[in-house]
Amino acid sequence: MNIVLLGAPGAGKGTQAQKLVEEFGVAHISTGDLLRAAVKAGTKLGVKAKSYMDNGQLVPDKLVVDLVTERLDADDAQKGFILDGFPRNTAQAVTLDSELAAMGRNLDAALLVAVPSESVVARLSSRRTCKSCGYTAPAGVDVCPRCNGEMYQRDDDKPETIRHRLDVYESQTAPLVEYYKGHSILKEVNGDRPVDEVYADVKALLAL
C-alpha cells in the first residue's frame, strides 16, 4: 500500500492516516511532522523552514523533497507508506514519481479527503494547544488535561491564517487532483462526516 493523501489543511487526513497505520502497519510520513521535528531540533533545514512556517507560507520544494526522500529509505517505509502533505504541487508529484521509480516502487492511489472550506475554518479555529506538551483540545479547555499546562490558540489556528493557508492550498495543491486523475489513481472521499464513516469509505475505495 503506497498512498498519497490529498486534502486541505484540517480536512482530517492525519486522522485517516493514523487509522490505516494502526490497522495495516504502514509508515505514516507527514511532512508537517518531519518539518516540526527539524525545527525543534534546530537543524539547518529546520531553521530555514521555520522562517517560512512562521509567516504562514509553504516551505520550498527542495527542502521538503530532501526530507521526504530520506524518510522513504527508512526500514518501516519498505512495506508501504502513506504520504501526508507531500506532494503539494505537480512539480513535486513528478519528482516523487521519479524518486519512487528509482527505488523500484510506485503509487497505488492518491486519496482526496474533500471538506468544504468553511468546515475547515470552523474545525481548526476552535483548536487549542498546550504550551508545554503540545496536547490539542477544543476551545474552552484552558488547562491541559495531560500536564496542567496553559492552553492557547496557535497563530496557525487563527481564522485569518487558516483562510490564507486554504487560498495557498487551492492555488498550489488543487492541480494535483487533476494530475492524479490523469494517472487514473485518484480516489475521493467526503471527509465532512464522522471519522469512522469516512474510514469505512476509505477502505472500500482502496479495496482493503
Query: Where in the sequence numbering do the catalytic residues fall?
Result: 13, 88, 127, 154, 165
Strand order in the sheet with 2-6: 27-30, 81-84, 2-6, 109-114, 186-190
Q: Return the exposure string of 55-70: e unless at least 16 CB atoms fall within 10 Å of the residue's CB, then b.
A: eeebbeeebbbebbee
Alpha carbons 35 and 129: distance in angstroms, whole number: 18
- Kindly tell me the burial class for residue 172, based on how many C-beta atoms sit within 10 Å of its own C-beta (0-12, 13-18, 19 or more): middle
DSSP letter for 12, please.
S
Contact 108, 1 (CB under 8 A): yes
Helix (H) / strand (E) element for 31: namely helix 31-41
Name the phi and psi angles at 162, rounded to 5: -65, -45
